[in-house]
Amino acid sequence: MSEKRRASDANEFSAAEIGALAHLYRGEVYRSTIWRTRLDTTTNWSVVTLGVALSITYSSPGASPLPLVLVGILIMLFLALEARRYRYFSVWRARSRWLERNFYVPMLQDGDLHTEMNWQRILADDYAHPRYHVSYLVAVARRVRSNYLWILLIQTLAYCGKITVHPVPVQSFAGFVNRADIGPIPGEVVLAGGLIYVVSWIGLAIWITRVDARRIRQRGGTPEMG
């Protein structure tokens, strides 16, 4: 095979080009691995923060449930950071997966190289004009569906359990509502806000599940970048 790729034979790569693509793939896998680790870091921050709030709130029957309310702010901050990191991660992951599917898979299956669907041009365009592959809302929704929905549900259940059993078990729903009071804010408002809080995250997880499923159906199994 000639060291210089022939323009008339678009289905062949020179040895130098194959080596360059191999190094490119290794670099993209490395970057996706690093950003995947950063995603785990923010999730760990959320879990640890919630654990601290649980320890404070359940330290004694007279402890206030307010830390479990305030920790929700920190969890949402970590979610915002993680969604931003996910948008970067999706770029590196998509590029490495694109190389696997269009470069390595045909080579392993047929023992030859292919240029199906002009995949090199699509990859080159992604390098020439880098952009996010998912919107910020989609990134948030996917992280909620994967991790944060469970963290937020644990937070909510822990808060309800706290005002139910401490300082003594509640005897009626009216008593449950009264215990939810936060200073001048009545319990009805606090519980309504909590309900909206939980339903919003559940709705976001359901929405992104349907969006991703519809996207897969529209693609019809055809690979695409991102």
Domain that holds residue 32: 15-219
Count CA atoms within 13 Å of residue 8 on its CB side: 1
pLDDT, residue 75, reads: 94
Domain membership of residue 4 (yes or no) is no
66 within some domain: yes
Long-range contacts made by residues 184-193, C-beta under 8 angstroms, separation at least 24? Answer: 190/69
Closest to 198 (Cα-Cα) out of 134, 127, 129, 150: 150
> What is the length of the chain?
226
Alpha carbons within 13 A on the beta-carbon side of 97: 12
List the one residue out of 62, 41, 58, 28 whose CA is nearest residue 154.
58
- Asked if residue 3 belongs to a domain, the reply is no
Tell me if 8 is assigned to some domain.
Answer: no
Low-confidence residues of the chain, pLDDT below 50? 1-10
CA atoms of 164 and 176, how far apart (whole Å): 6
Answer yes or no: is 10 within a domain: no
CA–centroid distance for 66 within its chain: 28
User: Based on the structure, what is the number of domains in the chain?
Assistant: 1
How far is the C-alpha of 57 from the C-alpha of 155, rounded, in Å? Answer: 11
CA–CA distance, 40 with 82 (Å, rounded to integer): 9
User: Considering the domain boundaries, does residue 9 fall inside one?
Assistant: no
Place of tokens 């979610």: 79
Task: Please give the Cα distance from 72 to 186 (Å, whole number).
Answer: 19
Gap between the Cα atoms of 184 and 123, Å rounded: 58
- Provide the pLDDT for residue 7: 36
pTM (predicted TM-score): 0.81
Residue at 89 is within a domain: yes
Position 163 in a domain: yes
pLDDT at 111: 57
DSSP-derived secondary structure letter, 112: S
Separation of alpha carbons 131 and 226, rounded Å: 10
pLDDT at position 183: 85
Helices (H), the chain: 15-57, 66-99, 105-110, 119-128, 136-143, 149-165, 173-179, 187-219
> Bridge-partner residues for 182, per DSSP?
185
β-bridge partners, 185? 182
How far is residue 226 from each of residues 49, 94, 145, measured CA to CA in Å? 32, 5, 19
